[in-house]
């Protein structure tokens, strides 16, 4: 195909990605998004109790998930997959909201948890069903409470601290599957099966390994870029590869003092 600028060349990978249309999601063995229950009347007034019915490791996910079915006489609801904390056996009772005890796997507002509690699948805003500390092995820590403003300060997995509403719910414990990325893949076959369950992004051919017609960095008697790898922001799509609109390149030298922002 001929580009608008008149230069001959093939449509590069970045252009094919943005074109859309030809796409098939890898949805086999998916169990749905891992979320907390939607807040309803039964959960606002007292607590409800459920029994973990389904425990599985959904294919594209790095941590295990479980679905808790409401136990009678609770209001019947659909099974909702949720992240499973480590050390939680199957068929364990899951208690939700303020009357629940501080046991691993229970869901309750962070405002009712003592300082130093380890939590996961933490809500960023009340009722959003869990947005923070969701990756395998991750957790957040409850630091302090302010009863006057009804706010709670938590430490996130990144180390940053955040002030959230004390009504936000969280699962007590650490997300299962910690240390998953510590084990080396070692074989191409394992990488194949890993990304087969996730998305079509493997293997990824380097631009310098291609022919000149297939990539701006292709060609040559040895593999080298042959031109500056930085590229301007308004470059045409077929040329826009490398370090796009880079403010700087090279190694970061020196030290940087980070001041913690107090909320």
pLDDT of residue 263: 57
The 3-state DSSP class for residue 101 equals coil
Query: Is this model's pTM higher than 0.85 or not?
Result: no
| Max Cα distance, the chain (Å) | 75
Residues of the chain with pLDDT under 50: 1-2, 5-6, 74-78, 90-91
Computed over every residue of the chain, the mean pLDDT equals 84
| Sheet of 151-155, strand order | 81-83, 65-70, 48-56, 93-96, 107-109, 169-172, 118-120, 140-146, 151-155, 161-165
Tens of pLDDT, residues 14-28: 998 887 777 788 888
Tokens of 188: 């191409």
Which of the 8 DSSP states describes residue 4? T
pLDDT of residue 74: 47
E-strand ranges in the chain read 48-56, 65-70, 81-83, 93-96, 107-109, 118-120, 140-146, 151-155, 161-165, 169-172, 230-231, 243-244
Tokens of 39: 């807040």
pLDDT of residue 100: 74
65: which strand partners?
56, 83
Domains of the chain (ranges; CATH) run 41-172 (2.30.30.30)
> 27 — phi, psi (to 5°)?
-110, -5
Tens of pLDDT, residues 155-191: 999 999 999 999 999 999 999 888 999 999 999 999 9
């Amino acid at each position: 195909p001929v580009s608008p600028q008149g230069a001959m060349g093939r449509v590069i990978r970045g252009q094919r990605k943005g074109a859309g249309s030809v796409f098939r999601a890898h949805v086999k063995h998916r169990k749905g998004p891992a979320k907390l229950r939607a807040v309803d009347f039964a959960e606002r007034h007292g607590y409800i109790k459920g029994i973990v019915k389904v425990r599985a490791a959904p294919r594209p996910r790095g941590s295990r998930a479980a679905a808790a079915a409401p136990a009678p006489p609770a209001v019947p609801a659909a099974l909702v997959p949720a992240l499973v904390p480590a050390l939680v056996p199957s068929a364990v009772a899951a208690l939700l909201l303020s009357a629940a005890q501080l046991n691993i796997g229970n869901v309750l507002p962070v405002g009712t948890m003592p300082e130093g509690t380890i939590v996961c699948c933490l809500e960023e805003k009340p009722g959003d069903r869990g947005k923070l500390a969701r990756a395998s092995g991750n957790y957040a820590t409850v630091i302090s409470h302010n009863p006057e403003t009804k706010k709670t300060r938590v430490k996130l997995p990144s180390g940053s601290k955040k002030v959230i509403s004390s009504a936000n719910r969280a699962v007590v414990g650490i997300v299962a599957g910690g240390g998953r990325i510590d084990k080396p893949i070692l074989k191409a076959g394992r990488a194949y099966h890993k990304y087969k369950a996730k998305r079509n992004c493997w293997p990824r051919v380097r631009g310098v390994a291609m022919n000149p017609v297939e990539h701006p960095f292709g060609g040559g008697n040895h593999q080298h870029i042959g031109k500056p790898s930085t590229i301007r922001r308004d470059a045409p799509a077929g040329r826009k590869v490398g370090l796009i609109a880079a403010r700087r390149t090279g190694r970061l030298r020196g030290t940087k003092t980070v001041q913690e922002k107090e909320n």
